[in-house]
Amino acid sequence: MDNQFIMPAPPILRSPAEEEKLRGRLTGFKVGYDEGYLRGRLTVLDGRPEEPLPVRDIHILYVASGKGYPYSPLDDAVICALQKLTTQVTISDVRQNLVDLVLTHRPDLVLVLDGLDLPLDQVATIRGHGFKTAIWLTDDPYYTDFTMKIVTHYDYVFTLELNCVEVYRGLGCAEVHYLPFAAHREHYRPTVTHSPIYRDISFIGSAYWNRVAFFREIMPELMSYNTVINGIWWDRLPEAPLYADRIEIGKWMTPQETAVAYSGSKIVINLHRSHIDEVVNNNALSIPAASPNPRTFEIAASGTLQLSDARDDLGSFYKVGEEIDTFTTPLELMEKIRFYLTHEEERREMALRAFERTLKDHTYLKRVNQLLAVIYS
């Protein structure tokens, strides 16, 4: 057959509006694929059963803080874990007569959460009758002016702050143990279907003054993204009225609402409160905070990327640079934000690794099992 010259097809000419529409469709396909892939992977991981843990034949009298929200979700988490790890749990709070309860039910252990409002004479009477007592402190090191006055009244002291361990031992407490909080899977888990919330960046937390000062340095660029801030006291931020539609002031979000917001965000900022705050803290010794806050585990359990300010003991829980990333200055935070918002694969894989690590090591089942192992090893 004779060689024939085939004319190339003429280029498809599109108007600028048509080109823009095509780019939008392609971007939409990519975003949809990325979200679907992430949520599919999260679904698989979320469906894995937790490692079986021993059920101890013991009776726990659990004493809730009695403070209501936001402490009540912590009570829910601890109670749920205790009910799975022991044969009997009696639930009380600091407003009840614990001496009568203990003498009636005769538990193997009285476990108190927070304990700042529990009369110490009741604790002394309970110990005087030979019952074991333990306290799990919720706010170290921020209220150590108060906690230092109560820890010596318990057989076992558990603190979520590494730097408080030696402080309490120095007071004469023989059994002081480091036990941070964790993620309660009944509250914090990823949205595995299409998320009802879509944000580039979220921050959820109270407007402590260190947070206000930190965000003020980067507000224009931070809010140039689809950024939403939720929490109380944000009227302290002078720029808040400029972003009234994206800075929610004065609302405590439930754990379930928080988890949905986390899971629907590409990046969640975790900026810890300062151990120095003359307005709200009671930490006269200025004990520094080295340990990650509960939010660290809750964000990771929601299946999203977390950028946290660096804390000395964070690396004991997550591999920095692989499972979680950190910042030390406002400018470094913005650099990390720009990077991860333009590198979807790196963002997604880090979020997945943090999620998997959390399910493996940082649930309340694991923490409460550690607590019981200390006492009943």
Q: Which domain holds residue 109?
A: 56-182+364-376
Q: Is the pLDDT of residue 3 over 80?
A: no
Q: In what order do the strands lie in the sheet with 227-231?
A: 247-249, 227-231, 199-204, 265-270, 305-309, 325-327
Is residue 140 situated within a structural domain? yes
**173 and 249 part of one domain:** no
Q: Is the pLDDT of residue 49 over 90?
A: no
* DSSP states of 76-109: HHHHHHHHHHEEEEEEEETTS-HHHHHHHH--SE
Is residue 22 situated within a structural domain? no
**169 and 207 part of one domain:** no
Span 74-97, average pLDDT? 97
Is residue 357 situated within a structural domain? yes
**204 and 344 part of one domain:** yes
Query: pTM for the whole thing?
Result: 0.90
Is residue 33 situated within a structural domain? no
pLDDT single digits (tens) 150-164:
999 999 999 999 999
**107 and 152 part of one domain:** yes
Q: Is 259 exposed, middle or buried (0-12, 13-18, 19+ CB in 10 A)?
A: buried
- Dihedral sign for Cα atoms in the order 118, 119, 121, 125: negative
What's the confidence (pLDDT) of residue 26? Answer: 47
Total domains present in the chain: 2
**162 and 236 part of one domain:** no
**SS3 (DSSP) at 261:** helix
Span 81-107, average pLDDT? 97
- CATH of residue 122: 3.40.50.11930
Higher pLDDT, 28 or 281: 281
Among 17-26, 31-40, 64-73, 305-314, the range with the most confident prediction by mean pLDDT is: 305-314
First to last CA, the chain: 89
296 within 8 A of 317, measured Cβ to Cβ: yes
**287 and 357 part of one domain:** yes
